[in-house]
Structure 1
Amino acid sequence: MAKVELGEEEAMLQGQADIWQYMFGFVESMALKCAVELGIADIINSYGHPVTMSQITSSIGSPSPDINCLARIMRLLVRKRVFSANPHPETGDKLYGLTHSSKLLLRESELSLAPMIVAQNHPWLLAPWHCMSKCVKEGGIAFEKAHGSEIWDFALANPEFNKLFNEAMACASKVTMKAILSTYKDGFDGIGSLVDVGGGTGTVVTEIVKAHPHIRGINFDLPHVVSTALEYPGVSHVGGDMFVAIPSADGIFMKWTMHDWSDEDCIKILKNCRKAIPEKSGKVIIVDLVLQPDGEGIFDGAGLLFDLVMVAHASGGKERTEVEWKKVLEEGGFPRYNIIKIPAPQSIIEAYPM
């Protein structure tokens, strides 16, 4: 359907409406964080059916909740389809229910994004966003400008942040891994040992080993990260530095790791990957965004947001287009690659040394 051209006055009015929306875009994120902190989705879920506002507030655990304040927050979240709201057929009272979106806010759900929402809206991770114009003017790293050190050093010195960050990454990993394991079933065939580079607390490689018990999993990350990892049969935890050396294995897995780093750093990582795998049979499995700046796919718009997250939080990292991936892979020693789309923001990039 062709777009209807607006008149000058209508276009200016629409432009004004857009700017107001963008200006207060943070309000939606903060309302979402509030819902997670109050456990709204969990309260509704505990009843097993849609509930009234008074039922929600009576379960919050406060002696004097402000029901009007919560009603206004819920009104926005209903508008955004995070929750549903329908009148009771007999009393007419508004009944709030879960949607596909709010099911991702359930704390005990296997596919909960609640820890990621709390982390991304924490002052620690919000502060670098205020330094983006400085980065444009001066260069440098936004996180370092905000906190005096890069994110990995900050995590090393701050156990509370380290826990917050690791829990966020772990919950996001579970969502992505469901998509990977359901659509990339044959991709792990022929791999006897697999190193998850930047594997955090081992959530990802544990899921892979559960689904493919023939694989010996190695969770590889910085020593202070793997020190908090839980033990699981078939998985070993190794502390180290991917810029120095990577443990040898049949295959290497990297999920949301490469986007944290500059092209130069990615090439160093890939060269170490090549040294760690068999030249003829080895492969590297990269799970990362393949940016489509003009794409109309369900996650293409989110890809541009993720790219700016890299500006705010990463050490020179970025999301890459296929052209940019090809350049990095070739210079890192992987002339052949294959991109596989999965039902997630990321794609799977299989990279081969020959």
Structure 2
Amino acid sequence: MATKETEETEELLKGQAEIWKYMLCFADSMALKCAVELHLADIINSHASPLSLSQIASSIVASDPLATPEISYLTRIMRLLVRRNIFAVHHSPDGGEPLYGLTHSSKWLLRDAEHTLAPMVLAELHKWMVDPWLCFSQGVKEGGDQFQKANGLDIWSFASRNPQFNQLFNNAMASTSKVIMKAVLSVYQDGFSSIESLTDVGGGIGGVISEIVKAFPHIKGINYDLPHVISTAPPYQGVTHIGGDMFEAIPKADAVFMKWILHDWDDKECVRILENCKKAIPEKTGKVILVEVILKADGDGPFDDTRFYFDLLMLAHTNGRERTEKEWKNILEEAGFPRYRVIALPALTSIIEAYPS
């Protein structure tokens, strides 16, 4: 009996510890946001060697002469980030100041790196994006759009009327696109080499389609998005920008590419978009290339937890959702795509290649 009671006590204690951890794990996010806002990874990287906190503080002042860094605050924030392996700390044997260096994690926070997640950190942890998460219980009770509950408009209308948010959002999407596209281009070369024209639906300012065309110059690229998005798109060689509404029509091409588009929408809206994709491609040789998350209930890979976080992120921001392979299959079949194949990527997402016949 004593052993059973002891085990129960230990399990309750573990449970208490878990609740404390999950209650306060937003501290990791806020410390991460602080690191990006202060350019901590960039400062360390620019010196090509680990730095003391006083050296980091001096660099903060150099970039912002009005700043008066509080070293004790920085010490406590860096202590947590070191514990999370975002930064590394090197203690001097002679008792000098500890030196802070980069890790494989903090290298993803370098703003000027070709592949960086820094803009995504700034966007997802901005008040506009965080506030909808606070509406979940209200959403459970009455449904609706969580972003609209928090900000007064759905995310797309908000972006069209708020240039600052539009830029924040587009920068985030552009940075994550580069990260995902590096994986796509490394795995899917045969898939692109067989087509001559490609429409990127929801392509934002054209970063993705420009990378594809650069890698495969024979492809005629079409970047298709809402007019207010296209209005800010720079010119790219081999790419035509077209403004429009994917719920109405999609420019014709040999294939349609959509990266992280359908997860923004419910099943009926996804079917409608895919039906328009089917009209835009050749019946016998056309295909739709989806780059999306595939949820695995029993997955234990490095990205599997994050995929479930993304499902709630979609609930918070677009009223969309991430899906299991079975759910993707059902949507594709309803839209007229009886065949598909999944291609794994070294990334958060996978490729789903769908065919109309």
Q: Do Structure 1 and Structure 2 share a fold, with TM-score over 0.5?
A: yes
TM range (shorter): over 0.9
Letter of the structure 2 residue corresponding to residue 291 of structure 1:
L
Q: Which residue of 233, 238, 244 maps to 2:242? A: 238
TM-score, normalised on structure 2? 0.96
Partner Cα distance (2:271, 2:59) in 1: 52
Letter of the structure 2 residue corresponding to residue 257 of structure 1:
I
CA positional deviation for 1:183 = 1.3
CA positional deviation for 1:89 = 4.8
1:353 aligns with 2:356: yes
SS in 2 for 1:252: strand
Q: Which residue of 245, 252, 255 maps to 1:251? A: 255
Partner Cα distance (1:204, 1:90) in 2: 51
The match for 1:58 is 58
Letter of the structure 1 residue corresponding to residue 180 of structure 2:
T
Partner Cα distance (1:272, 1:21) in 2: 46
Q: Equivalent residues in 2 for 1:181-200 (5 A)?
A: 181-200=185-204
- Contiguous gaps of at least 5 residues in structure 2: 1-5
Q: Which residue of 100, 105, 119 maps to 1:96? A: 100
SS in 2 for 1:59: helix
Q: Equivalent residues in 2 for 1:62-141 (5 A)?
A: 63-141=67-145
Partner Cα distance (1:147, 1:291) in 2: 29
Q: Which residue of 150, 153, 169 maps to 1:149? A: 153
The match for 1:20 is 20
CA positional deviation for 1:184 = 1.2
SS in 2 for 1:236: strand
Partner Cα distance (1:152, 1:125) in 2: 13
Letter of the structure 2 residue corresponding to residue 325 of structure 1:
W
Letter of the structure 1 residue corresponding to residue 9 of structure 2:
E
Partner Cα distance (2:174, 2:17) in 1: 37
Partner Cα distance (2:257, 2:93) in 1: 52
- Contiguous gaps of at least 5 residues in structure 1: 1-5
1:203 aligns with 2:189: no
Partner Cα distance (2:43, 2:93) in 1: 22
Cα deviations across residues 8-43 of structure 1 (Å, max 9, x unaligned)?
111111111111110011110000000000000000
Cα deviations across residues 98-129 of structure 1 (Å, max 9, x unaligned)?
01110010010011111110111111111111
- Report the CA distance shift for 1:265/1:67 in structure 2 as closer, same or farther (over 3 A): same
Partner Cα distance (2:106, 2:54) in 1: 19
Q: Which residue of 309, 317, 320 maps to 2:320? A: 317
Q: Equivalent residues in 2 for 1:170-319 (5 A)?
A: 170-314=174-318, 316-319=319-322
SS in 2 for 1:84: strand
SS in 1 for 2:60: coil
> Runs of at least 4 residues of structure 1 off by over 3 A?
89-92
TM-score, normalised on structure 1? 0.97
SS in 2 for 1:144: helix
Aligned residues: 348
Partner Cα distance (1:144, 1:167) in 2: 21
Partner Cα distance (1:292, 1:218) in 2: 33
Partner Cα distance (2:94, 2:216) in 1: 52
SS in 2 for 1:219: strand
1:343 aligns with 2:346: yes
The match for 1:331 is 334
CA positional deviation for 1:88 = 2.8
The match for 1:3 is none
SS in 2 for 1:65: coil
- Report the CA distance shift for 1:212/1:15 in structure 2 as closer, same or farther (over 3 A): same
Letter of the structure 1 residue corresponding to residue 14 of structure 2:
Q
CA positional deviation for 1:63 = 4.7
Partner Cα distance (2:151, 2:57) in 1: 37
CA positional deviation for 1:180 = 0.6
Letter of the structure 2 residue corresponding to residue 328 of structure 1:
I
Identity of aligned residues (%): 61
Partner Cα distance (1:298, 1:102) in 2: 17
Partner Cα distance (2:67, 2:309) in 1: 39
Cα deviations across residues 259-299 of structure 1 (Å, max 9, x unaligned)?
00000000000000000000011000000001112211111
Partner Cα distance (1:134, 1:40) in 2: 37
**Which 10-residue stretch deviates more, 6-15 or 105-114?**
6-15
SS in 2 for 1:103: helix
Partner Cα distance (2:157, 2:297) in 1: 32
CA positional deviation for 1:132 = 0.9
